[in-house]
A = this chain, B = another copy of it.
Amino acid sequence: MTDRAPFASWLNDTNDVISVFLSAGQIPGLINLGGGLPSPDVWPVEEIAEISGRVVREYPTETMTYSPVPGLPYLRDVLAKRYSTDNVPLTRDNVLVTTGGTQALSLIGQVLLNPGQKIAAQSPTYLGALDAWRPRTPEYQPMILEAADFDPVQDMTGAQFAYTVPNFSNPSGRLVGLEQRKELLAAAQKTGAWLIEDDPYGKLYYDSDPLPTLLELSGDGTPYSGPVIYVGTVSKELAPGLRIGWIIAAPEMIEALATAKQGSDMFSSGVCQMTAAKAYEEGVADNALPRVLALYRARRDALCAALEKHLSDHLTWEKPCGGMFVWAKVKDPAIQTEQLMRRCLDYGVCISPSSVFDPEGKDQSGIRINFTLNTPEKLSEGAKRLADTIRSFD
């Protein structure tokens, strides 16, 4: 291949950590705490099977042929209604349908980043967002929201946008409090940076009612024209395999994003768009939620109890009040977590190392542990294996 035209230079800026843990799924008997997968126990298989067949028969035009680039009006209306509040009245012009949340992030990068421009990103930063923006070769200003001297105005100055996951950030599981949400918004208004609210886990509150979103907090009762670019997805509410996500934002932003979508995949599957629209309309997601919350709450508790039992000498962590992850720091500074991850595979467990959530790939101090995919028994055994792995470094 050496005599053919070379690949674009951004492709050099990757690491093999991701491919190591993506292929870990093929190791027999491995307990995978490394991914971020919803539990198969809560997939609404029968409902989605029935709806997907039905929508093709009943809506052949919507499902079979080319859809409008920004999405089917039917689904855009369902989503506009679902997110409208007194403070934030939305119409379909505020909604772009995307091919999953990942495409939403990719389109935002295409629309807002010239090569080398700056993103202020909640740190540590969701791996998939870093992947989505890599082809635009951005610079990163980390925002450390828990730091005593965190100054959002300073961090956002000169940035095209700020990236946040206010509800149970991936990877940190952190919930951004109401006061800090208001500070982030004020800083966006002051600096002119757009404010991304990536919200895949917004329904997954296990201990309290949800806080208002940045989108809600930024409305003033008039048609939405605020700085927030809200990203949602069916992946945690219905099924990732539908590959439907959405962006809610000011109409001018939606229009620019639609131009980028036109060149990215033209439109999202009509079959999947109509299936998602009907599933929301018919209450499939809302009806499933109590069971999802009960299952995930029990698994979070089981993982935290197992960490307490097996790993309190080796890790520090906080019990998250929602989402899908526990974020832990390794007490022994001599242990580099990329190496830990690789060795974990020999012990039959997989975790995600902190380096993949660092734009510079350097942070080796932490690990992300998922609790939604596995049963309490497996979570406990996984924690035991992780403890054995850490002790092997002595």
Contacts and interface: CB of A to CB of B under 8 A. Distances in A.
B5 A192 contact: yes
A264 B275 CA distance: 22
15 contacts: A1-B225, A11-B256, A22-B68, A40-B64, A43-B65, A45-B56, A48-B63, A49-B53, A52-B56, A99-B269, A110-B135, A115-B115, A243-B268, A243-B269, A264-B264
A239 B62 CA distance: 11
Interface string A345-366: 0000000000000000000000
Contacts of A35: 66
A265 B243 CA distance: 8
A126 to B, nearest CB: 12
Given A113-B8, A269-B242, A264 B64 contact: no
A332 interface: no
Nearest to A50: B53
Contacts of A62: 241
Interface in A336-381: none
Nearest to A23: B68
A284 interface: no
Nearest to A72: B241
Contact of A52 (B7, B43, B252, B271): B271
A241 B64 contact: yes
Contacts of A22: 68-69
B242 A133 contact: no
Contacts of A48: 56, 63-64, 271
Contacts of A61: 40
Interface in A13-60: 14, 22, 35, 37-38, 40, 43, 45-46, 48-50, 52-54, 56-57, 60
Interface in A185-199: 192-194
A263 B133 contact: yes
B67 A264 contact: no
Given A40-B61, A45-B57, A275-B271, A265 B262 contact: no
A241 B8 contact: no
Contact of A263 (B49, B115, B134): B134
Contact of A259 (B11, B57, B268): B11
Contacts of A227: 4
A236 B256 CA distance: 28
A122 interface: no
B49 A57 contact: yes
A49 B57 CA distance: 6
A267 B22 CA distance: 13
- With most chain B CB atoms within 10 A of its CB, the pick from A49, A113, A260 is A49
Contacts of A179: none
